[in-house]
């Protein structure tokens, strides 16, 4: 006599848990969506160019379509290119940059950014090209780029990074390219641009001692 009520209770309990899980999933991804949208607005308000790319799967269940703007799946346009060349962006403007998981090209030339922004790039594995010319990055910040298997172009001109730090970064990235994630990446040659001042810094440094 008690079997059916207990069975119904179990079913109801699981349905409630599934509903709670779905609502939590929806709320979390809506939160991420709003964060990304706010970042894009800040970038555009500052004068930066933001470009999107489309990722469309072969099929998507109809019941999910109304929720696509808030679901973190590759089924809608994603930011892949940020061009802020000679725009005075700051680390604060770029907060939540780590949420741009499809970001591939970033141009921050002459922006007022530091190692804080590089820390936000640490987990963005799709990064391919990064222009940091004229920024305030340091040797410590370069360590956040050492795990980028697709990164093939970095501009470090007019920064405070040293030749030793650049060589370390080059070595780490080339090690990743020994067994690249894809065959296309195998033929990409890493290019790191530095200024003559950085390149010759070690050679032209005068040792302490006698003076004429």
Per-position DSSP letters for 109-150, written without gaps between them = TT-B--HHHHHHTTT-TT--EEE-TT----HHHHGGGTT-TT
Q: pTM for this structure?
A: 0.73
Residue 42 and residue 47: Cα distance in Å, rounded?
Answer: 9
79-93, 117-131, 191-205: segment of lowest average pLDDT: 191-205
What pLDDT was estimated at residue 127?
Answer: 93
Q: Which residue has the higher pLDDT, 196 or 191?
A: 191
pLDDT at 158 over 80: yes
* Residue that wins the pLDDT comparison between 141 and 68: 141
Task: Find the mean pLDDT for residues 135-151.
Answer: 94
42 band by pLDDT with thresholds 50, 70 and 90: very high
Q: How confident is the model at residue 209 (pLDDT cuts 50, 70, 90)?
A: very low
Q: What is the pLDDT of residues 51-110, one digit of tens each?
A: 987 654 444 455 555 555 555 454 456 889 999 999 989 999 999 999 998 899 999 999
Is 118:159 a contact under the CB 8 Å cutoff? no
**Quick one: which of 190, 48, 191, 162 has its CA closest to 108?**
48
- Please tell me the predicted confidence (pLDDT) of residue 28: 82
The better pLDDT of the pair 210, 183 is held by 183
* Per-residue CA distances from 199 to 61, 66, 168 (Å): 55, 54, 14
- Do residues 87 and 46 make contact, with C-beta atoms less than 8 angstroms apart? yes
DSSP assignment of 45-104 equals HHT-EEEEE----S---GGGGGGGGGS-SSSS-EEEEEE-TT---BTTTTTTGGG-TT--
Helix count and strand count (H, E) for the chain:
6, 6
């Amino acid at each position: 006599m008690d079997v059916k009520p207990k069975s119904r209770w179990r079913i109801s309990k699981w349905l409630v848990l599934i509903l709670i899980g779905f609502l939590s999933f929806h709320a979390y991804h809506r939160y991420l969506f709003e964060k990304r949208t706010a970042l894009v607005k800040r970038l555009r308000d500052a004068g930066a160019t933001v470009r999107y790319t489309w990722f469309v799967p072969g099929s998507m269940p109809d019941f999910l379509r109304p929720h696509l703007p808030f679901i973190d799946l590759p089924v809608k346009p994603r930011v892949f290119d940020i061009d802020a060349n000679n725009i005075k962006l700051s680390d604060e403007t770029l907060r939540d940059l780590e949420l741009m998981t499809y970001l591939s090209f970033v141009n921050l030339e002459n922006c007022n950014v530091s190692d804080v922004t590089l820390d936000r790039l640490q987990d963005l594995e799709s990064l391919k090209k990064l222009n940091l010319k004229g920024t305030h990055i340091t040797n410590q910040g370069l360590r956040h780029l050492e795990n980028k298997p697709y990164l093939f172009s970095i501009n470090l001109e007019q920064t405070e990074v040293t030749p030793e730090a650049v060589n370390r970064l080059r070595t780490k990235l080339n090690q990743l390219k020994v067994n690249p994630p894809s065959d296309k990446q195998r033929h990409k040659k890493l290019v790191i641009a530095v200024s003559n001042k950085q390149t010759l810094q070690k050679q032209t440094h005068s040792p302490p001692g006698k003076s004429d």
